[in-house]
Amino acid sequence: MFDAKQFIEEQVERIRQEVGAEKAMVAASGGVDSSVTTVLGFKALKDKLTVVFLDNGLMREGEPEAVVKVFKDMGIKTKLYDVKKNFFQAMNNLTDPEEKRKAFRQAFYKSLARIARQLGVRILLQGTIAADISETVRGVKSQHNVLEQIGINPLQEFGYRIIEPIKELYKPEVRQVAKELKLPDSIVNRKPFPGPALSVRVIGEIKPEKVEMVRKATKIVEEESNNFPSFQIFAVLLNDRATGLTDKGERAYGNIIVIRAVDSRDAMTAEATKMPWDRLLKMEKRIISEIPGVSRVLYDLTSKPPATIEFE
C-alpha cells in the first residue's frame, strides 16, 4: 500500500540532500505532477527554489496567469517568462508528430537553460512520472520531459542537473501525494494536460491562428463538459477540410474539430467516455457558431489501444 506521507518525508529529505547549498528551479505547468514537485521542492528548499512558468503560446486560455497566481499565493517565488517566439520558431514548418515533439522538447530545455543562467541555478526539479518515461522509452511518444532515460545528459547538453522526485509514481499516487500536501482541489483533481500543450492537438504545422482555433474549442468543451467525470476531455484541430454550408446557405470548405473524451485510470489504457448526446450537441453548436472557419465537429470513439489518448 502506497504511503503518501512517508513518500513526502523521504523526497523532501532527498531533495534537501541533493541540492545541498545550491539553488534550484522547477518548471511548473499547473498540472498535478509539476505542482506536487514544486511543493516538495519548496518544503525542502524554501527561498532557494524559483518556480519558472514558460508561456510558450500553447497553453489554454488564461492558464499562464492563473498558474503563477496559485504558487505566488502559496508564498513561493514564481516567475513567468514569455518564450512564445522560441517555441513557434522551433516548430516552424514541422508536420511530423515526433519531429514536432522533439522540437518542443529542445525549445523547452533551451529556454530553461537561458533562464538557469540568468538565475544562477544549475539544478532543475521536474515532475516527470512513470507513464511519461515508459511511453518515451517504449518509443510510443517522445514526452517533453524525458532526457536521461533516453541517454541525453542534461548537464552536458543544457548546463543543469535534473532531479525527478516523482518519477516512480503513476497518476493515482501523484494525486494522493497532492492531497496529502494539501494542494487546492483544483490541482489535486486537475485533468491531465500534455507537456507539449496544444501543439499535440493541432495536427500538421503549428501556426498561431490554428492554435487559437483549438484554444477556443478547448475552452468550449471544458465548459460544456462541466465536471462530467471523464479522465480527460479536449479538442483537436485536424489538418484537413470538409465541405459545409454557411448560415446563408453558401458553400464553405472549413476546418474540422474533433472532440475527444476518455475514461482511464492511469493513461496507459483508455476508453471513449459515454458523453451524453445533448452535451455533445451543445459543444458542436457552440464550436460552429463561435469559431469562424470550422464547418464540422466529430467525436472520437477509439480506445487506447489501438489509439493513443492524444492525436500526436
Is residue 30 part of the contact set for ligand XMP (CB under 6 A)?
no
**Residues 205-244, mask of contacts with ligand XMP (x by CB under 6 A):** ---------------------------x------------
Long-range Cβ pairs for the range 263-267 (8 Å, 24+): 263/230, 263/231, 264/231, 264/232, 264/304, 264/309, 265/171, 265/172, 265/231, 266/131, 266/170, 266/171, 266/172, 267/131, 267/171, 267/192, 267/231, 267/309
Is residue 310 part of the contact set for ligand XMP (CB under 6 A)?
yes
Least Å from the CB of residue 245 to ligand XMP: 34
Return d(Cα 191, Cα 168) in angstroms, integer: 20
**Residues 126-165, mask of contacts with ligand XMP (x by CB under 6 A):** ------x--x----xx-xxx--------------------
Q: Which is nearer to ligand XMP, 176 or 232 (CB)?
A: 232
Least Å from the CB of residue 197 to ligand XMP: 9
Q: With contact defined as beta carbons under 8 Å apart, do 24 and 163 qualify? A: yes
Phi, psi of 160 (to 5 degrees): -145, 155
Return d(Cα 53, Cα 50) in angstroms, integer: 10
Q: Which is nearer to ligand XMP, 48 or 201 (CB)?
A: 201
Residue closest to ligand XMP (Cβ): 195
Is residue 60 part of the contact set for ligand XMP (CB under 6 A)?
no
DSSP string, 47-79: GGEEEEEEE-S-SPTTHHHHHHHHHHHTT--EE
Least Å from the CB of residue 286 to ligand XMP: 23
Q: Which is nearer to ligand XMP, 48 or 100 (CB)?
A: 100
List interacting residues with ligand XMP (CB under 6 A). 132, 135, 140-141, 143-145, 192, 194-196, 232, 267, 304, 308-310
